[in-house]
């Protein structure tokens, strides 16, 4: 495997915290990341990597996949990846896409293993989760803990419900700051997301996610008041009708005590009686 420090030296770059660039340089961590897919027998025939950097992880992914696609926004890094991995590109094993991962058309990948740029990690995660593919992604520790949080905990919120709507998610490893060059200000964590259908029905996914977001803006309020106070977000013309039709036990709860299935049931009710406006 290529040495991560040597890759940085050959690329002639330095990580830049101001540009959200922290290169993972710990060989042991890099070697472990692909194994989190192997543990669940995930299809690794076409792996997607967001933010290839200098290619330390790319190198490991090429060792286990038939095909790897890397999306790298930085022009200099994309050019380096094309030069460093020219043999793999010529063999058809690697594709380097120089573009923004939030805007580019994603390939038909089977799984993703990525050390995400933290500044856009949430947006990228929610581009990947709806694709229904196994994911091994690195985030800030606090962000990862919110993704896996359970109801009635301080970390539980909109991110928890939205993430767990798409997949079973677990933290598989915490990563110290020293594993990166330069070290970030906070500790990191790796999550594994295994896609599955939720155990509840959602009639309108876009509305469900917006409804969850709205109620968590009022997390200290009861659900009764949160429904009434967020009609400008949910676009409900008749929020009082939802309150009148909902179960009293639910109305007395707060958002951080609501199970995802309870949000789903309430969202279906809101669609039925709340007169949602066209968006």
Binding-site residues, in ranges, read 22, 24, 51, 72, 100, 115
Measured at the alpha carbon of residue 125, what is the angle toward residues 40 and 258, in degrees to the nearest 5?
A: 90
DSSP string, 49-116: EE--TTSHHHHHHHHH-SEEEEEE--HHHHHHHHHHTHHHHHTTSEEEEES-TTTSPPP--SEEEEE-
Distance CA 68, CA 32 (A): 17
- Spatial contact of 188 and 168, defined as CB atoms under 8 Å apart: no
Distance CA 226, CA 242 (A): 11
CB atoms within 10 A of CB 22: 23
Question: Which residues, in sequence order, are CB contacts of 247 under 8 Å at separation 6+?
Answer: none
Distance CA 34, CA 44 (A): 9
| Torsion angles phi and psi, residue 72, rounded to 5 | -130, 120
173: β partners = 190
Binding residue ranges for S-adenosyl-L-methionine: 22, 24, 51, 72, 100, 115
Question: Which residues, in sequence order, are CB contacts of 180 under 8 Å at separation 6+?
Answer: 15, 22, 23, 24, 25, 26, 188
DSSP three-state, residue 141 = helix
């Amino acid at each position: 495997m290529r040495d991560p420090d040597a890759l940085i030296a050959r690329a002639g770059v330095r990580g830049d915290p101001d540009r959200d660039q922290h290169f993972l340089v710990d060989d042991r961590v890099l070697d472990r990341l692909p194994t989190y897919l192997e543990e669940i027998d995930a299809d690794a025939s076409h792996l997607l990597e967001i933010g290839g950097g200098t290619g330390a992880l790319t190198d490991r992914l090429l060792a286990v996949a038939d095909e790897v696609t890397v999306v790298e926004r930085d022009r200099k890094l994309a050019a380096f990846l094309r030069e460093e991995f020219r043999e793999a590109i010529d063999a058809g094993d690697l594709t380097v896409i120089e573009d923004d991962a939030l805007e580019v058309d994603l390939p038909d990948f089977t799984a993703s293993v990525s050390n995400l740029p933290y500044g856009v990690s949430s947006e990228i995660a929610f581009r990947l989760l709806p694709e229904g593919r196994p994911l091994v992604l690195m985030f800030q520790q606090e962000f990862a803990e919110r993704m896996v949080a359970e109801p009635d905990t301080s970390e539980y919120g909109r991110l928890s419900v939205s993430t767990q709507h798409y997949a079973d998610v677990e933290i598989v490893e915490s990563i110290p700051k020293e594993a990166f060059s330069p070290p970030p200000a906070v500790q990191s964590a790796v999550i594994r997301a295994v896609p599955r259908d939720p155990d509840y029905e959602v009639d309108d996914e876009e509305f469900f996610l917006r409804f969850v977001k709205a109620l968590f803006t009022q997390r200290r309020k009861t659900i009764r008041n949160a429904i009434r106070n967020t009609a400008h977000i949910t676009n409900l013309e008749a929020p009082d009708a939802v309150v009148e039709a909902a179960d009293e036990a639910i109305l007395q709860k707060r958002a951080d005590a609501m199970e995802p299935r309870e949000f789903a049931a309430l969202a279906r009710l809101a669609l039925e009686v709340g007169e949602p406006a066209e968006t």
